[in-house]
Structure 1
Amino acid sequence: MSMNEGVQGYRAWSIEQREQRLQRSGLEVALTPASRKKLLGISGLYNQQRALNEHEHIELEHANHTYKAGLTQRSHRQRYRILVYNLTVLEIVPLGAGPAMIAASSNPVSASLQNEGNSSLTLAPPIEQRGVTKLLQELAVRTLYSLGLDSGEVLLTDMGSRRYVVEAITPLLEQPSTTLPEPYRTAAQVLARKLALEQPGRPGLLMGMDPEFLLLRETSDRVVRASRFLPMAGVAGCDAGPPGTRGAFPVAELRPEPRGEPRALLAQLMSAVAAADRLITDRSLRWRAGGMPLRGWALGGHLHFSGVTLSGPLLRALDNYLALPMLLLEDARAGARRPRYGVLGDFRYQPHGGFEYRTLPSFLVSPVVAKGAVYLAHLIVSHYEELPLRPLDREELHAAYYSGDKPPLRAAFTPLLAQLRALSGYEQAARYIEPLFHYIAAERTWDESRDIRELWIQREPHTISPTHK
């Protein structure tokens, strides 16, 4: 598996293009002189001296130079140098606060790497962490991924109030006849061993999901807390909502039992829907799904995978072959969730040893969409090595994704569609996936104002409701 498969595109982009790409992905960035001055308060002369000092490998805080004003402006800000390999943070090094590093013993990834020499076990994914460490990890990985990279270093500056600015990116490059430095070398060895254990078609793949929906009072279009009807745990439960709803658990969520085959997983989803229908006894409430069925209420359709090793190519295959066609189907209102939610490559490692793909909106908009999304996702993850096209790496299509400009994305999807149809196993899944492709060709979208309860509880087949322009 190639490392940093998008590095050629990264090199071709100007500093301004890299900055724009990161900003579209919801990140604060200070790569250009103008943005550095605006966000970090660094003057042009100071910026030049800083570049010279870094070229000479001199820490800025200890460098002898005459630009004291610039130093004073930023000396109180903590900076972090974050090392990432294959979308996993290996080390977080605080700069300007002494030589101490966030201890490897507190970083599950580093600890696993240190133990690798004494164990035949593969590298365990990091456990979800709260607070600053978790946020730094997410920002560093998103920074690299948004630039077509999966390994390298990211420099983040702490602006206070949990705001961090991307100040520099250094891709990790493989040099002929040289070995990678630590800790990258050990991480690469662990990854290679894990990938070597995977069988063609990934027969051990296990899928789960937790798509969300809202309960609305039809007369007022106000959200009714899901916690009034649904428990915290269970196949039909409640979850947290947007800022300002802390402790209320207003969002309804379905959590069917994971299964190895799409058909079995969808049967579990139907059981979860039936459980929700029994528990939500107020029949006057409307169920709404999609990306943002009500202003300010972003919903997700998260998919869980285990039995497969997360990698940059796998995540990019999901973005290009799954998230892209789903965007072509979505209601125009769903675009408002990006970039706070629904960014490309949004994932989290999970305690079950797999990962959660978080980019999609809630596909509960109809059984047809849900079935197509599940079958398509399973097919992609099973055969992602055979899906090499990356249209979303192109600058104009990356911008189109975040702005919701569908015509260029629809044109770009045509060659991907041909590759999907050529995959082994597509014929068996076609009856569930092809309806989505027919809707895309007809430029039809789902309607997020529709009550989905009637679609799921009735047994008659349903389609996407007519598009609204």
Structure 2
Amino acid sequence: MEPLNLPIQGAVSEQTMQNQLVTSQNTLVSSIRIEGLQNRSYENQMMTLNVEEAVNGATDRDYKIAVLKLHGIAVADKKLLVTKKYIVSVFQTKVTRMYRSRQQKAWLAGKASTKRETFQSVDLNENTRECRRVKTLSIRALYALGLDYGVVKIGIRAGNMVEVQDVIPGPKLNREMEKSFFHALSGYVKSLPHTLVPLDQVILGADPEFIMRKNNGSLIMASDYFPRFGRVGCDAIWYGQNRSAKPLVEIRPQPTRDPRQLVIRLYKGMLQASKRVNITDVQWLAGALPHPGFPLGGHIHFSGVYLNFKLLRALDHYLALPLVLVEDPIGVRRRPRYGYLGDYRNQFHGGFEYRTLPSWLVSPTLTKGVLALAKLVVARYPILKADDLKRYTVQKAYYDGNKEQLKPIVSRLWEELKGLDDYQRYQRYLDSFFRMLFSDKTWNESKDIRKLWKIPPYR
């Protein structure tokens, strides 16, 4: 299967797109290569939507089911009764159209039905919990399979279980779906000249988490010391049956264009937290899963850049894969419910939050390296080459925490990054970070992080 070449010199009308991208069978071509972007040396994966390997994988049902399950996505691979169905048209991070079955019950494919299924359009602004879950799962499924666009079929089973029925990279389209797809594609094409941005255009924020545990193993509730919101606050996750008891502490520094300044603000936030919780018989723990049942995140916020699947895949390659080399082996249990590849959330300020990483507050070296690398990757991702995660074996190595399999890949990524002119700007942080990655040591999630940060009081 060869991608269809789409020249973009000058303005491209929707009618022109339709003539090229919709087949005589009224199906969308399954792969597109964008051509004609002047004065840009973007990599092929930036200019190709639905790469060949991803399309081939999405047409093999057994492979498709295996990949989706690896990413922690519920798949309807049995003939079970569903209460309703959704057909969701997706272009990267956007749901472009959505339809819901009219009848209350429908059988999955393979079971005879006495009625012809009919669907009605769903307002994309509908904000019910079910609609939010359907949209999120549709985008996740498309991303997990390495696709950039397609149609996702979702089934709702008893107990409000949301499952993926199918993902189709070259679907049949009605006129509404065609129009919304071409609008999304046009937006992506128009954004391409602006995706390679100056470093100083990228604004960084963060809200890494840690947990406080007494030496006897019992948790200290963050909600006893910190408000729900604020520069230092508690996360919404509660402990046991008491919803007011929240154990996770979040440091939320003011965003900045300077990674070093962000680290300083994080440090000041931890000092503030230490003054509030002036207890010596306690450990501050970070990482992925330092206490059973409470996975931690090292979320990074970005503004000043255009969010798309290509950017998320770059963050997965250059941030998520390297951290596996130094993570505590117990942290593997955080995945795939948390820490799954491509996890993101749109933010009210117009930017987005990358949520895949564990809490990198384990050490200052790790924190400085992660934030400097995040800024570099987001500014330069269109010219970065990595596409290893298109292979199932590499995805599995990530979820399994297979350090030996990922080490040569990360080594190659480091060599590529060192070739960027902008690497020199953060070389001090990045060299220390990568030396730590290849030290054959792992962080210890049972170790108090205050000692390395020099935050009193610590044992």
Contact 2:208 2:297 in 1 (8 A): yes
Query: What's 2:225 paired with?
Result: 229
Change (3 A) 1:130 1:422: farther
Deviates more, 1:240-249 or 1:200-209: 240-249
Report Cα offsets for 1:213-252 as digits up to 9, x if no partner. 001011x211111011111121111112267453322210
Report Cα offsets for 1:176-223 as digits up to 9, x if no partner. xxxx921111122233334444563353211100000001011x2111
Query: What's 1:85 paired with?
Result: 91
Shift of 1:296: 1.4
Q: Matched residues in 1 for 2:283 and 2:324: separation? A: 24
Match for residue 36 of structure 1 among 57, 60, 78: 78
3-state DSSP of counterpart to 1:425: helix
Match for residue 121 of structure 2 among 91, 101, 106: 101
Query: What's 2:54 paired with?
Result: 9
Matched, 1:19 2:39: no
3-state DSSP of counterpart to 2:136: helix
Query: What's 2:109 paired with?
Result: none
Amino acid at match of 2:411: T
Query: What's 2:153 paired with?
Result: 155
- Structure 1 length as normaliser, TM-score? 0.79
Shift of 1:403: 1.2
Shift of 1:338: 0.4
Amino acid at match of 1:80: Y
Match for residue 420 of structure 2 among 414, 423, 426: 423
Contact 1:7 1:148 in 2 (8 A): no
Contact 2:231 2:252 in 1 (8 A): yes
Contact 1:274 1:457 in 2 (8 A): no
4+ long deviations beyond 4 Å: none
Amino acid at match of 1:336: R
Q: Matched residues in 1 for 2:239 and 2:313: separation? A: 30
Amino acid at match of 1:429: Y
Shift of 1:436: 2.4
Shift of 1:307: 0.5
Change (3 A) 1:247 1:458: closer
Matched, 1:360 2:371: no
Report Cα offsets for 1:320-354 as digits up to 9, x if no partner. 11100011111001110001000000001111101
Amino acid at match of 1:134: R
Match for residue 257 of structure 2 among 256, 260, 265: 260
Contact 1:82 1:89 in 2 (8 A): yes
Q: Matched residues in 2 for 1:89 and 1:169: separation? A: 14
Report Cα offsets for 1:74-125 as digits up to 9, x if no partner. 3x52011111112211222102445432224x25xxxxxxxxxxxxxxxxxx
Amino acid at match of 1:224: I
Q: Matched residues in 1 for 2:155 and 2:240: separation? A: 27
Amino acid at match of 1:151: Y
Query: What's 1:113 paired with?
Result: none
Shift of 1:267: 1.7
Change (3 A) 1:242 1:398: farther
Match for residue 283 of structure 2 among 278, 281, 286: 286
Match for residue 376 of structure 1 among 366, 373, 376: 373
Deviates more, 1:280-289 or 1:77-86: 280-289
Report Cα offsets for 1:15-62 as digits up to 9, x if no partner. 2122111001001113xxxx324xx2xxxxxxxxxxxxxxxxxxxxxx
Contact 1:202 1:308 in 2 (8 A): no
Change (3 A) 1:233 1:205: same
- Structure 1: unaligned runs, 5 residues or longer: 41-73, 108-128, 175-179, 460-469
Shift of 1:7: 4.0
3-state DSSP of counterpart to 2:254: coil
3-state DSSP of counterpart to 2:78: helix
Report Cα offsets for 1:159-189 as digits up to 9, x if no partner. 1323222111111589xxxxx9211111222
> What pairs up with 1:196-275 in 2 under 5 angstroms?
196-198=193-195, 200-218=197-215, 220-241=216-237, 244=240, 246-275=243-272
Q: Matched residues in 2 for 1:356 and 1:320: separation? A: 16
3-state DSSP of counterpart to 2:49: coil
Q: Matched residues in 2 for 1:100 and 1:173: separation? A: 18
Shift of 1:281: 2.4
Contact 2:238 2:247 in 1 (8 A): no
Contact 2:88 2:95 in 1 (8 A): yes
Q: Matched residues in 1 for 2:336 and 2:262: separation? A: 29
Aligned residues with identical type, % of pairs: 35
- Structure 2 length as normaliser, TM-score? 0.81
Contact 1:329 1:440 in 2 (8 A): yes
3-state DSSP of counterpart to 1:36: coil
> What pairs up with 1:66-465 in 2 under 5 angstroms?
74=81, 77-97=83-103, 99-104=119-124, 106=125, 131-172=129-170, 181-198=178-195, 200-218=197-215, 220-241=216-237, 244=240, 246-458=243-455
Q: Matched residues in 2 for 1:421 and 1:83: separation? A: 39
